[in-house]
Structure 1
Amino acid sequence: MSARRKDDPQFDFFIPMVHDIPLKDQRETMERPFFSLQKRKRLKPIDYRSPDGEVWVKVEAVPAYGMASIWDADILIWAASALNRLKQQGVNDLPRTLRTTAYDLLRAIKRDTGGKGYQELRAALDRLASTTIFTSLRAKRGRDRR
């Protein structure tokens, strides 16, 4: 049995941190039910309609994987943070594919880097890739007025 590695207190400048993305940019995600809030596998679709009826969200899961959960959302926040950092560095052509190691991603989202952590990461990526979201929300054109 190997000894457990202690967390490295040294800050790694090359790993985008979850807190780097402004929360205001995540407003729609936080206000609407895009993810399951439960840890156990959810297959029942989420059907949401705002009180005024103008905004609706439908989230569907694939039975093999279940619906993406709020814990899986950390991966999307990490990805948005990485893209935001590139934008702040003046990169004009943002990549369509982000590359990282599983270890660096697990560290960035503050998850266990043991064997179970890698299994949970794989399951989270499967859920994120297979969850389907239909919505009436559209990206705003021009400047964001929030």
Structure 2
Amino acid sequence: MNPSHQTNLLPERHPTQDFFIADVFDNLPYKDDIASMEHPIFTLSKRKDLRDLNYTNGNIHISIKPTSDGLPTIFDKDILLYCGSLLMDQINKGNIPPKTLRISSHDLLVATNRPTSGEGYRLLKKALDRLKGVSIKTNIKTNKREVTRAFGLIESYEVIESTRVKKRMIRLEITLSDWFYNSLLGKEVLTVNRDYFRLGKALERRLYEIARKHCGQNSSWSIGIEKLKLKTGSTSSLPKFRYFLKQIEKIDHLPDYRLRISDDLVHFGPRGEFVTLDDLPSISPNTIQKTKNIVADAGTGWDFYELHTQFSRQLQKGFRPDNVNGAFINFVKKKVTTRP
């Protein structure tokens, strides 16, 4: 990614994480469900959206009705990505986890690059209300099963523990909808780049999802602008939508992909050889902790996560050491002998 474009991304709000979800950042890829990557389930509006939505694409039909809280936004989807990623880790290990899970609100906010201020917790509560309150009817099957009743994207949530003084939710219990949970059991998910959470514009997030779903690891994928507008769920006029696309093409900071506009077609292509975190050798939790201590003891000003990113980029470019843990330790030891 071009460094000159980094300022267009949201800042890394939590650059010095020190909590159990280091495993999420370093070894547990984020998973996005294919159904909502393919079809516009979430509104792109940051304002309260009270529209009833009806979407048809071929034989697929979706009807979405909001409550007074409005439609769930694509930023609300962060909650599903976080919860789904934790459950997919268990599923990939051969376990069948329950669809109800208890999580730390703070860890969710940090993992998805959200603010942990009082406002951050207030917005999290609003997002949970929208995900629970929305009424969806669709014939989209997940794990070969169709849910014939109306459902919310989460079935329920409960604040297990809170801080009265700061009015913050410390621990949450979230029960996922059968529809979303079935997509996890069926492994109908794709890995998404961590920088997805640094995309500050809803349309950018939606375009990344569409590119990830349809372009994937292929050399290119093209779609007409009008059809792409329908697929994103954008409510902008076609000329305005085209303008937004040109701005995104100019800024060029979508993770993993570039888009190019030619007449009435939008072309997506990968930035280089496409390697997801799933394909990379895994660094053990013990090595993560050991190298964190090496960085801290050196005191030369390095950030552990910057070193981890640099090493991961080498892996993505094809570097395959016989012992990935030993190679990472040596890499860190060498780096911290000098200042950044």
TM-score w.r.t. the length of structure 1 is 0.79
Matching residue of 1:87: 91
Q: Residue 127 in 1 paired to residue 130 in 2?
A: yes
* Distance in 2 between residues matched to 1:118 and 1:145, nearest whole Å: 30
Query: Which of 62, 66, 73 is 1:57 aligned to?
Result: 62
Large movers: runs of 4+ above 4 Å: 10-13, 142-146
Matching residue of 2:46: 39
Query: Which of 74, 77, 84 is 2:81 aligned to?
Result: 77
> 1:96 Cα deviation (Å)?
2.6
* Distance in 1 between residues matched to 2:124 and 2:65, nearest whole Å: 20
| Secondary structure at the counterpart of residue 59 of structure 1 | strand
Higher strand share goes to which structure? Answer: 2
The one-letter code of the counterpart of 2:121 is: Y
Higher relative contact order (CA 8 A, sep 6+): 1
Higher helix share goes to which structure? Answer: 2
CA distance 1:107–1:144, shift in 2 (3 Å): closer
| Secondary structure at the counterpart of residue 99 of structure 1 | strand
Larger CA Rg, structure 1 vs 2: 2
Contact 1:57 1:133 in 2 (8 A): yes
RMSD (Å), alpha carbons: 2.6
Unaligned runs of 5+ in 1: 1-5
Query: Which of 34, 37, 53 is 1:27 aligned to?
Result: 34
| Secondary structure at the counterpart of residue 49 of structure 1 | strand
CA deviation profile, 1:12-49 (whole Å, cap 9, x unmatched): 444645x72445xx222112111111000011111100
* Distance in 1 between residues matched to 2:188 and 2:104, nearest whole Å: 36
> 1:97 Cα deviation (Å)?
1.4
Q: Residue 138 in 1 paired to residue 141 in 2?
A: yes
Q: Size of the alignment, in residue pairs?
A: 134
CA deviation profile, 1:65-113 (whole Å, cap 9, x unmatched): 1110000001111111010011123323x12311112111111111000
Give the fraction of aligned pairs with identical amino acids, expressed as a percent. 31
* Distance in 2 between residues matched to 1:76 and 1:112, nearest whole Å: 17
TM-score w.r.t. the length of structure 2 is 0.36
